[in-house]
């Protein structure tokens, strides 16, 4: 065998496809279903539930637009059936199984956990033993567990997707991308949600203004948001759910809910891989250590996707899979390079960022920052979605767009446009002149670009009237 790929998420599927297309005899082995976290347990199911939450939210607007209906009622078991249907459809239509088989990849799915025997040999729980010149490790990540008494009573986001009914109350610990999505979705579904964040603000890696808008909107929806809550002592099972005990400044406190979801980080899924048998080292954060060619400390073993602990998103996993397979088959020559990667979440309100953050840009550049609030544009007023803003960050000497933060309706889509602008090296004066369609959400970018251009180029002053609102 030329190449064995371990793990069939987006990274592994693309790695196997690429290796086979380059002529390598390739095997793809995975513990469960093909598609990995992305198809089965992450973005796809989350997006289905977030869509249901959005429909409920939109239903709340009907009266304002003169449409009378009775109160919407959520049937959670039917929603879960729809989620399963979508996951199945995406796997059938969008996943790459057929493509993989067409290029001759041998797929062993539902093989159980695979582990290294040595640097060229793996074996699976189901007794499959494979040898290969090159191995690509794409086993993804898993929810971080806390060494706290009673942790076994808590749930992860995956458990939240498989409930049979919406819990009357929920504690979500951790307000990063996963925690805020779980909190936002179940708040919309009618759970009384308490969101606990150890640090001073939710979404700590986002722009401070974005965190503030999301926290305010969450509170306005009735969610309890507790920043700086202290440190967790333990969890205890109660008659109606789980009680969390925590201490802040020496004062002990507690909170109870029907379900406690802990989302405090995403770690490499290395348990059970027996990495030491293959000479594969992990870094201080516990992820598989790779060089710029995605080669591990064992020269014939490459790694791709979440297991390397860089930007843990599907597009990056896909790109990694391509690079790792190219290097595994053709020799280590291709690097993954820097990209303006958009990040965001489908919360209410949505948020997104792309390029460098304002804080980072200020450390290294002479920047101009322009801000347009959602209540200043026609489309957001039409749709009654006036919460939020778009903040554009540009380099003053060149006018080039460095980054963007958006919070509000369609924030994630708006950030895609900026990703293309950054990749194309667009400057704010040129973006300001693009006649973006009116009235649209993305149209806010023309105004933001205009406001940034006004701070750099004298000829732009006083011409705000040229941009449609």
> Binding of ligand FAD at residue 410 (CB under 6 A)?
no
Cβ distance to ligand FAD smaller for residue 247 or 341: 341
Q: How far is the CB of 157 from ligand FAD (least distance, A)?
A: 5
Give the pairing of strands 114-118 and 121-124.
antiparallel
Q: Are 415 and 353 in contact (CB under 8 A)?
A: yes
In 324-425, which ranges are E strands? 343-345, 351-355, 367-373, 388-395, 401-408
Cβ distance to ligand FAD smaller for residue 49 or 390: 49
CA–CA distance, 387 with 407 (Å, rounded to integer) = 8
CA-closest candidate to residue 400, choices 444, 446, 456: 456
For the CA atoms of the chain, what is the radius of gyration?
24
Q: How far is the CB of 426 from ligand FAD (least distance, A)?
A: 24
> Binding of ligand FAD at residue 269 (CB under 6 A)?
yes
Q: Are 233 and 150 in contact (CB under 8 A)?
A: no
Among 21, 43, 55, 82, interactor with ligand FAD by CB under 6 A:
43
> Binding of ligand FAD at residue 347 (CB under 6 A)?
no
Residue 68: CB atoms within 10 Å:
6
> Binding of ligand FAD at residue 139 (CB under 6 A)?
yes
Cβ distance to ligand FAD smaller for residue 23 or 315: 315
> Binding of ligand FAD at residue 314 (CB under 6 A)?
yes
> Binding of ligand FAD at residue 313 (CB under 6 A)?
yes
The owner of tokens 């722009």 is 207
Among 5, 17, 26, 36, interactor with ligand FAD by CB under 6 A:
36
Give the pairing of strands 106-108 and 26-29.
parallel
Structure tokens at 194: 């308490």
CA–CA distance, 441 with 196 (Å, rounded to integer) = 32
Among 17, 37, 105, 419, interactor with ligand FAD by CB under 6 A:
37
Among 100, 107, 140, 183, interactor with ligand FAD by CB under 6 A:
140
Q: Are 368 and 410 in contact (CB under 8 A)?
A: no
Q: Are 372 and 454 in contact (CB under 8 A)?
A: no
Number of residues engaging ligand FAD in binding (CB under 6 A): 36
- φ, ψ for residue 5, nearest 5 deg: -110, 125
> Binding of ligand FAD at residue 348 (CB under 6 A)?
no
Give the pairing of strands 351-355 and 367-373.
unpaired
Among 16, 19, 42, 195, interactor with ligand FAD by CB under 6 A:
42
Q: Are 173 and 146 in contact (CB under 8 A)?
A: no
Measured over the CA atoms of residue 353, residue 359, residue 360 and residue 362, the dihedral's sign is positive
| Cis before 376 (ω within 30) | no
> Binding of ligand FAD at residue 8 (CB under 6 A)?
yes
Among 154, 178, 211, 377, interactor with ligand FAD by CB under 6 A:
178
Task: Tell me the window of 23-31, 56-64, 275-283, 430-438 that interacts with ligand FAD (CB under 6 A).
Answer: 23-31
Q: How far is the CB of 176 from ligand FAD (least distance, A)?
A: 10
Residues 6+ apart with CB under 8 A from 88: none
> Binding of ligand FAD at residue 114 (CB under 6 A)?
yes
Q: How far is the CB of 113 from ligand FAD (least distance, A)?
A: 4
Task: Tell me the window of 6-14, 144-152, 200-208, 402-410 that interacts with ligand FAD (CB under 6 A).
Answer: 6-14
> Binding of ligand FAD at residue 176 (CB under 6 A)?
no
Contact residues toward ligand FAD (CB under 6 A) are 6-12, 29-32, 36-38, 42-43, 46, 113-114, 138-141, 157, 178, 269, 272-273, 305-307, 312-315, 317
């Amino acid at each position: 065998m030329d190449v064995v790929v371990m793990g069939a998420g987006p990274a592994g599927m693309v790695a196997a496809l690429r290796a086979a297309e380059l002529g390598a005899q390739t095997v793809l082995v995975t513990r469960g279903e093909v598609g990995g976290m992305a198809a089965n347990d992450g973005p796809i199911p989350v997006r289905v539930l977030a869509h249901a939450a959005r429909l409920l939210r939109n239903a709340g607007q009907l009266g304002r637009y003169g449409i009378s209906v009775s109160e919407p009622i959520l049937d959670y078991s039917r929603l879960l059936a729809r989620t399963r249907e979508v996951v199945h459809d995406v796997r059938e239509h969008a996943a790459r199984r057929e493509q993989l088989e067409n290029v001759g990849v041998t797929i062993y799915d539902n093989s159980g956990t695979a582990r290294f025997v040595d640097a060229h040999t793996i074996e699976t729980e189901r007794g499959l033993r494979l040898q290969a010149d090159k191995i690509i490790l794409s086993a993804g990540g898993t929810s971080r567990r806390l060494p706290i008494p009673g942790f076994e009573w808590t749930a992860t986001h995956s458990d939240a997707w498989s409930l049979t009914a919406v819990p009357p109350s929920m504690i979500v610990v951790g307000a990063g991308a996963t925690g805020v999505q779980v909190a936002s979705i179940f708040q919309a579904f009618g759970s009384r949600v308490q969101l606990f964040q150890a640090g001073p603000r939710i979404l700590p890696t986002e722009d401070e203004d974005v965190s503030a808008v999301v926290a305010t909107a969450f509170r306005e929806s009735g969610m309890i948001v507790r920043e700086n809550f202290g440190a967790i002592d333990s969890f205890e099972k109660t008659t109606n759910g789980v009680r969390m005990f925590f201490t802040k400044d020496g004062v002990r406190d507690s909170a109870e809910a029907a379900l406690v979801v802990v989302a405090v980080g995403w770690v490499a899924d290395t348990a059970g891989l027996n990495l030491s048998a293959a000479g594969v080292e992990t870094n201080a954060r516990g992820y598989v250590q790779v060089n710029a060619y995605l080669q591990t400390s064992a020269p014939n073993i490459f790694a791709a996707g979440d297991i390397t602990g860089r930007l843990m998103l599907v597009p990056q996993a896909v790109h990694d899979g391509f690079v790792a397979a190219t290097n595994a088959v053709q020799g280590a020559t291709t690097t993954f390079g820097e990209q303006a990667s958009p990040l965001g979440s489908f919360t209410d309100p949505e948020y997104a960022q792309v390029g460098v953050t304002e804080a980072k840009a200020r450390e290294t550049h002479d920047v101009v920052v322009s801000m347009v609030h959602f209540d200043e544009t026609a489309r957001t007023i039409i749709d009654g979605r006036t919460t939020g803003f778009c903040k554009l960050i540009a380099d003053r000497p060149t006018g080039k767009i460095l980054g963007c933060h958006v919070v509000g309706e369609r924030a994630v889509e708006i950030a895609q446009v900026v990703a293309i602008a950054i990749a194309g090296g667009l400057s704010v004066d040129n973006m300001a002149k693009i006649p973006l369609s009116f009235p649209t959400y993305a149209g806010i970018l023309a105004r933001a670009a205009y406001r940034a251009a006004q701070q750099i180029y004298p000829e732009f002053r006083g011409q705000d009237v040229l941009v449609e609102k």
